[in-house]
Amino acid sequence: MAMKLEVRGIGKDFVIPVIDSVSFGVDAGEFVCLLGPNGCGKTTLLRIVGGIEPASRGSVLLDGLPVLADRRHQRHVGVVFQEDRLLPWLSLRDNVTLVLRPLGLDAAQREARAAHYLRLAGLQGFEDYYPGRVSGGMRQRAAIARALAIEPDVLLMDEPFGALDAQNRRIMQQEVRRIWAETRRTILFVTHSIEEAVAIGTTLIMLSARPSRIRERIRNDGGRERGKLIDDLNAMIMEEVERQQGDAS
Amino acid sequence: MSARDRAGRLHLPTLAALAVVLVGWTFLSRRYGAFVLPGPWSIVLGLVEIVRSGEIWPHAAASLGRIAAGFGGAVAVSLVMGLGAFVSRTARGIVQDVLAILNSTSVFVWIVVSLVWFGLSNWAPIFTTFMITLPVVASTLVEGVTSVDRRLLEMGDVYRLSGPQKFTAIVIPSTLPYLVAGMKVGFGLALKVSVVAEIFGVTSGIGYAMNYSREILATRMVFVWALVMILIMVATDKLLFDPISRRLTRWR
């Protein structure tokens, strides 16, 4: 299968180098989780892949075409942020139909697509609610529905459940896994929780401490026992954190 | 409890305080005579009189017309300033500095200046109203424009919304409540200021009527016209601005 997403030698400096050089490829339909110690640039990497921020070096290819941090670029990327970023003055339905406008669909098509993806995200019956009237978990569901509705080439998720309580978090993890299985979208998912990554990702990419590189890439297809995998990853993160602190002193 | 419930409810302690004031007022009026302080009931009767005779309408209309011109102009210029402040950082700096200067200029300065420039004409109160309400409306609008959530605009970029789409879906809804709040305060100010400016040079309007009543020693009518002003202010707040801001924030 063709490579869907290719990250080639991406690096980013904010005064000091944050991301040294990161390269990896993602197949169509893969569910990749990006892991790493705090401050290693996971979110920055995701923003570069989404064309929200320019890289200091390297390139990102989506279906063979370069992604640029440029308003005119015809990228087709859905992003779910840490916060829901819904417009509070629009109903959940209108929040979804809004992002369908630039796609050139007519009103009926926009309505139909919004209804479809809101249902897929488990929001049937809540379409006319304002974001402020539903729970945080439901707002994040609506943000996922919005990202899916543009039928993106790749879906980027930046710690989307960070603000949810443990119970909602577990429910949403299962929901995302189900939605991924139903839509077969390519997903790049940033998380700091190893348990979360092991529970939902098909591929896990562990970044090193700052300036970050790829420390390890692991297939999570049930070949390795889950508890053992989590222990190994935890040990890796601890090593990286120690290295980062050693650098600082 | 919503704002509507609070507005509709007659607050018992307030009524009691009002009764005490009215009794005290009546007493003082008896003590010093109606020429110094007319009694409350005679003021209400005076209001009924000018409504019956129709005298109230041309003066109220003249004042409101001047406010519409001066305050309307201030709102229009504020919109341009707000747009400028949104588009460019430099423009925002300039606008904020200009508003700071206007904000610290006294009403009387503008009255005198407009008399010099426009003489005894309609334009004096209109210009004064414009100059006084502009900084109030514009600074709340600029504040609203600068408080637009950048993260929402970034979301708009991610989903490739066009400039006009972002403007109508994100910028306008987040600044409208600020504009309405600024207009509410600005209108109240416009009414107070234009009435003062009407003392000079014009022969119609509430301010003129009030000053004329003073000159012919009709103290009672001074109070009646003051009551007219208060009624206009309360009516626009309750019937115009409050319903608009309730409607704008119904998603809350």
- What ipTM, to 2 d.p.? 0.89
Q: What is the Cα–Cα distance from A241 to B160, expressed in whole angstroms?
A: 37
CB B228 within 8 A of CB B57: no
User: Per-residue pLDDT for B5 more than 90?
Assistant: no
Sort out which chain A residues have CB atoms less than 8 A from B173's CB and list them: 87, 89
Sort out which chain B residues have CB atoms less than 8 A from A134's CB and list them: none
B169 vs A90: CB contact, 8 Å cut-off?
Answer: yes
Q: What are phi and psi of B128, to 5 degrees?
A: -60, -45
Sort out which chain A residues have CB atoms less than 8 A from B162's CB and list them: 102
DSSP state of A153: S
The pLDDT value recorded for residue B221 is: 94
pLDDT digits (tens, 9 = 90+) for B78-131: 999 999 999 899 999 999 999 999 999 998 899 999 999 998 889 999 999 999
B158 vs A50: CB contact, 8 Å cut-off?
Answer: yes
The pLDDT value recorded for residue B113 is: 93
| pLDDT mean by block of 10 residues, chain A; 249 residues | 78 91 92 89 91 91 80 76 95 96 93 95 94 94 95 92 88 92 92 91 91 89 83 88 73
The pLDDT value recorded for residue B9 is: 61
A87 vs B152: CB contact, 8 Å cut-off?
Answer: yes
Cα A159 from chain centroid (whole Å): 7
CB A45 within 8 A of CB A22: yes
A87 vs B170: CB contact, 8 Å cut-off?
Answer: yes
A125: left (phi over 0), alpha (psi -120 to 50) or beta: left
Quick one: closest CA in B to A132, which residue? Answer: B252
Confidence of residue B170 (pLDDT cuts 50, 70, 90): very high
User: Per-residue pLDDT for B200 more than 50?
Assistant: yes
User: Which range, of A17-26, A73-82, B197-206, B233-242, averages the lowest pLDDT?
Assistant: A73-82
The pLDDT value recorded for residue A248 is: 57
The C-alpha of B159 sits at a distance from chain A's nearest C-alpha, in angstroms, of: 6
The C-alpha of A111 sits at a distance from chain B's nearest C-alpha, in angstroms, of: 17
C-alpha separations of A127 from A95, B182, B225 in Å:
10, 33, 53
A79 vs B158: CB contact, 8 Å cut-off?
Answer: yes
Smallest CA-to-CA distance from A206 within A26, A40, A30 is with A40
A132 vs B252: CB contact, 8 Å cut-off?
Answer: yes
Confidence of residue B1 (pLDDT cuts 50, 70, 90): very low
User: Per-residue pLDDT for B247 more than 80?
Assistant: yes
Residues 6+ apart with CB under 8 A from A179: A120, A121, A144, A148
